[in-house]
Chain A
Amino acid sequence: MNLPHSNSSGSRATLLAVLAIMLAGSGALYYGSSGFRAISTEAARRIEVAERPLRLPPATLYGADGAARLLADELSRDGRVTLVTFIYARCQSVCRVVGTELQQMQEEIHARGAADKVRLVTISFDPRDDARALTRYGHMMKSDPDVWRLYGIPLDAERRRLLDAFGVIVVPAPLGEFEHNAAFHVVDRGGRLVRILDYTEPGTALDDALARAAEKT
């Protein structure tokens, strides 16, 4: 090819500029992909939490029993490690899967005699889910309150802050449904979010929680 000859100072300047752009660009891509490890927000969120455990903001929960209690108290109530999940009661898709998995997890916890080490907390992000809806959902899932409790968050601001902290993003979808990133959130005895595992890996999530419960305080 016959590129027109350009003066050498221009070539050198351009070479420098291209190098600078490449460095800056690679840096940006490194940052944007959490060090070339994640291209999705969800993957990046999981890496971040695994590296830096997260203290959760205060929130008041109301239970299926209608009683209100603080999230922090609930999570550090009895020294058990908690697996937190987010759902909405009328969900027909992902949370159905999560619900069934939680049901099996509850049985597994009983079977392993680990009810004093690990428990399940499910929080609804749908303001329409009142105590009655939660109770109905609990019955349907056969939740045993000793192992698995269901909660809602009455205050909009608190609910938003908690979802933000967990990194759960809820998008309204057609037919009154929601699309949301579903996962098992491992919260340690101190009430810190320490690990996020995919909803397709309930076994790994339970093992992780049990391993943390076995650690010395």
Chain B
Amino acid sequence: MLLGVLLATRAPLEASMLRHMLVQLPLLVLCGALLRPWLRLPPGLARWDVQGLTTFTATAFVTTYWMIPRALEQALFQPLAAAAKFASLLLLGAALPGALRRAHVVVQLFYVANICAMMAIAGMLYRELPQRLCNAYLLDDQTVTGTALVALALALGVAWCIGNARHFSDPPEPPQRSGPGRIRD
């Protein structure tokens, strides 16, 4: 199972910042989503997660937290931080599919835009800073990770737009005339 593979490949994955942040962490979320049938989340939980708001808020915090270089590095050296990393991302993966199903497209847009913007800004910071953010990773690795974070933010945004294209292609209201100040002929 994927979780087993991820646990077994911890050392090689965590040896580089790029693989740690952009391979291991997303795969953990995916793993949580796949583990969903086994976790048997009680159905009453949805009452606490109207429109997926709780899950999305948690997603924003969890993704932000693991993009803090110090937090990522603590997960390397402190078993408790490593456990928190695995638990938080697995749970997130388990909760996300249900939340996405419950959430209105506008709610989704709000959180997706927010999280992608945060990720892109973090990525730019990683790219631009001349000093190392993690003592355990090389500066080149940090720069590449920054680029990859920006790319992932863009990819997530584009993927979400494509996945929800049907909501935009066919506006429910009759098309309005062009906005003020714009002339169409």
Interface set of A (CB-CB < 8 Å, partner B): 1, 3-4, 6, 9-11, 13-14, 16-18, 21-22, 24-26, 28-29, 32-34, 38-44, 167-169, 171, 173, 179-181
Contacts and interface: CB of A to CB of B under 8 A. Distances in A.
A156 to B, nearest CB: 18
Contact of A169 (B54, B65, B135): B135
B48 A32 contact: no
Contact of A39 (B60, B70, B138): B70
6 contacts: A4-B104, A9-B47, A26-B61, A40-B69, A41-B70, A181-B135
Given A10-B50, A40-B133, A171-B136, A25 B65 contact: yes
Which secondary structure characterizes the binding site on chain A? Answer: helix
B133 A39 contact: yes
B54 A18 contact: yes
B49 A39 contact: no
Which secondary structure characterizes the binding site on chain B? Answer: helix
Interface string B36-74: 000000000001111101100110111011001111011
A41 B135 contact: yes
Nearest to A14: B50
Q: Which 8 A-B pairs have the closest CB atoms?
A: A25-B61, A169-B135, A14-B50, A17-B54, A32-B71, A40-B133, A17-B48, A181-B135
By size class, the interface of chain B is 20 to 34
Contact of A10 (B47, B57, B62, B73): B47
A183 to B, nearest CB: 11
B50 A11 contact: yes
B106 interface: yes
B68 A14 contact: no
B68 A3 contact: no
Interface string B132-173: 111111110000000000000000000000000000000000
